[in-house]
Chains A and B, each alone.
Chain A
Amino acid sequence: MLGIIDAGGWQNVVELSSGRQVEAGEKEYSKVRKLLKDFPYPGDGNDNSIEWVTNAAQRIVDFHQPHWMLLSYTQPLYTEIYLPENLTDSQNRQKRILDNILNFSNKNGYEPIIVMTGGYMPLLDEITQPSIKGLLESWIWGASVAGVSGATLEDKDVLMAHPHIAQVIDKNDVIAAHPNLHPHFIEYFPSYIVIAKEGYAFRGINSHEGKTAMADVYSKSLPVYSSLDTPQHTKDIRSIMEKALDKGKKVVLVVIEGYRFGNIPNGFTLCDNVDDWYAYRGMDLYLALHTGKPFYETEFPPVYDRSKPKSSKAKYPMSGFFNDLPEDSIGAKEGIKSGAVSSRSMITHMIANADITLECYSRERSHMGLLAAFKPNKL
């Protein structure tokens, strides 16, 4: 898979598996280059990024006519997690996204399946490093779950007694329950995963120093809209899309990250989102939607022990923890054309594994440019 990086108009073509530059003339891959030039990302905190997703997706439809698309909108989460509650603004933002999706689907004949993730609610309090030997690690995008690495058995009792911690997941119990876990999953699973009670958020050593007003909710069910079959579980969505594609329908999977907990739009129903103890979120949720696999059949633990060095053999250096493209992703399905646009960095191009993916290149809300990942033989 190739990538064209666009850093404010300057473009570079790289082989994504190695991260190294590929010699390419300025006229090569002109459709992709023009897509990047014509759709500069407005920024994580800018609501025009909603139309950025939709309009760029329309351009991909115009030149590639995908049978399947992923559209992922992250503005609500990025914007609202820092703000005190303003339900009207939040509802207006949500309506704006839904209108975009409706227009896009109707215009292009797509059957939409919409999943709303990253529910949040006003923050009650933060949970900082308890008096334990292990180290609490959390991050801003999903602070209701944290990892504790290098922990002792005694630490478990302290964590379980904490008034704002709802659940403590012991690595040994997970290994015992799932004997066929991938070695990478085991290697990077922390000693414990801790889950906060509703309204509480962890603040560990990897946390962003910024103050937040909202806490994400550990969502065991998610609001879903489907013009196709109604999924019972978020993992079912993959097979529903596949069935529709096999019947010659065109499908758009839409992920809207960030909704006010309990504020479910008309037409949406709650869909199960939990296996064992784990409520799908972030990368694992995207993987489940695209592959239909439960979290314990992937390489990726729900929370990483970040005190460990990354694998020295890691490929795809621009792609986080991924060492390879998931060939079983719906975006790589044989016999279809696929495309994706997302305001969520990095995850999209790897998980969608589509013919072409456009994503913003942001880290901690710092906007650095764009990445278009594509398979030259498919365009």
Chain B
Amino acid sequence: MNCNYCEWRCDLTKGKGVCGMYELRGGDIVEKHPNKWSRCHGVYIERIPIFHAWPNKRFLQLGCFSCNAACAYCINASIAIGPQEPITFTMTPEEIVDLALKSNYKGIHFGINEVTVNLPSALAVSKAAKKQGLIVGCSTNAFFTQEVAKLFSDIFDFFNISLKSISDEFYKINLGLPSAVPVMRNIKYISSHAHVEITTPVVLHGNESELPQIADLLHSINPEMAWHIFRILPKHLMANDSPPDVEYLSAMVEKVKEKMPYTYFGNFIGSNWVDTICPNCGEIAIERMCDCACGAKFLKNNTLNGNCSNCGNKLPIIDDWGNDLC
């Protein structure tokens, strides 16, 4: 019997599968660790990163463990790859939603590890959260099936999808995944149903030459999509490798901005490329700073309810534009 959650489609009669998180029980595929979480903490949405939706709002971030990929540079290998199972705690969907409401979080975000490997628990939390009016989203490698893409699109409001390359060879060598094709397929589908931002981690002498082609692809899907180019600080098997050169990559970022105006460049402290700039007049619409790895920190909203304060251009940013935006 094959698992239909991710594109590995593992035959669970033959073993534990790639992620090791599902098993057959009474003819059904069930989660081995339901409601188990390795992380549960508050994050501002910019940290995920999501830059074009609900700016400066706090989300409860949940993570489990394991992954269906094995990125050689993984920055979360102790959770995603092992070798030991991390310490986890149990929280029911109701307890999680209660916590999110009590702490005034805008919603819930599944990150830290690949959400597909604990899909039933994530969906249960999401359904309980939506009932209470919370926003729900995830970070994912999108190497899941079309059925799951539909399932996720129906329930998640936002996605940060990691498109690491458009080359099957890069996926095979660096990620242990057979192909980039399902990822690109899922980005296209989900983009037409929910808010999507893309992250492309760049490794030294790896995928930087692909950035113009990735820009072409993303442009064909949605030229106003936020695209986060990450300078990877390699860990795990590439822990001894250097990160890519900032000057070199920033020049490439400026070039791809001609196709994708909302391209950001971060994952290193002090980056000057995480502000949202109005492509019409060049005014800074939202100020941010990189004080840490991953996304950024919100500093200031200069827009008027999402319109450029200088030229009035409508920026592609979702929010209720309430008074809590500082």
Contacts and interface: CB of A to CB of B under 8 A. Distances in A.
Query: Does A pair with B?
Result: yes
Interface of A: 5, 7-8, 10-12, 14, 18-21, 128-129, 135, 149-150, 203, 205-206, 209-211, 306-309, 312-313, 317-318, 361, 363, 366-369, 371
Interface of B is mostly: loop
A313 B300 CA distance: 10
Interface secondary structure of A, over-half rule: loop
Given A206-B41, A366-B233, A312 B293 contact: no
Given A8-B242, A317-B299, A307 B293 contact: no
Interface string B255-286: 00000000000001111100000000000000
Given A5-B270, A14-B270, A129-B89, 6 more contacts: A10-B245, A14-B289, A203-B87, A209-B87, A307-B103, A317-B291
B99 interface: yes
Contacts of B272: 12, 21
A10 B247 contact: yes
Interface stretch (B19-27, B78-86, B171-179): B78-86
Interface of B: 38-42, 58, 65, 75, 78-79, 84, 86-89, 99, 102-104, 233, 235, 242-243, 245-247, 268-272, 287, 289, 291-293, 297, 299, 326
In the A-B complex, the 4 residue pairs with the smallest Cβ-Cβ separation, listed nearest first, are A5-B270, A312-B326, A10-B246, A307-B103
A317 B99 contact: no
Given A10-B247, A209-B86, A368 B103 contact: no
B291 A366 contact: no
B289 A19 contact: yes
Nearest to A371: B269
Interface centre among A149, A203, A361, by most B CB within 10 Å? A361
B269 A368 contact: yes
A369 B271 CA distance: 12
A135 B79 CA distance: 23
A262 B78 CA distance: 32
17 contacts: A7-B269, A8-B268, A10-B246, A19-B297, A20-B289, A150-B102, A150-B103, A203-B87, A205-B40, A209-B38, A308-B103, A309-B58, A309-B104, A317-B297, A366-B233, A366-B293, A368-B268
Contacts of A318: 289, 291
B231 to A, nearest CB: 8
Contacts of A209: 38-39, 65, 78-79, 86-88
A5 B269 contact: yes
A19 B299 CA distance: 8
A306 B271 CA distance: 26
Contacts of A129: 89
Given A19-B291, A312-B326, A363-B292, A369 B269 contact: yes
A8 B243 contact: yes
Nearest to B242: A8
Given A20-B287, A307-B42, A363-B293, A135 B99 contact: yes
Contacts of A11: 270
A5 B104 CA distance: 34
A366 B289 CA distance: 18
A306 B58 CA distance: 11
A19 B269 CA distance: 11
Nearest to A311: B326
Nearest to A12: B270
Contacts of A8: 242-243, 246, 268
Nearest to A308: B103
Contact of A128 (B41, B89, B271, B297): B89
Contacts of A10: 245-247, 268, 270
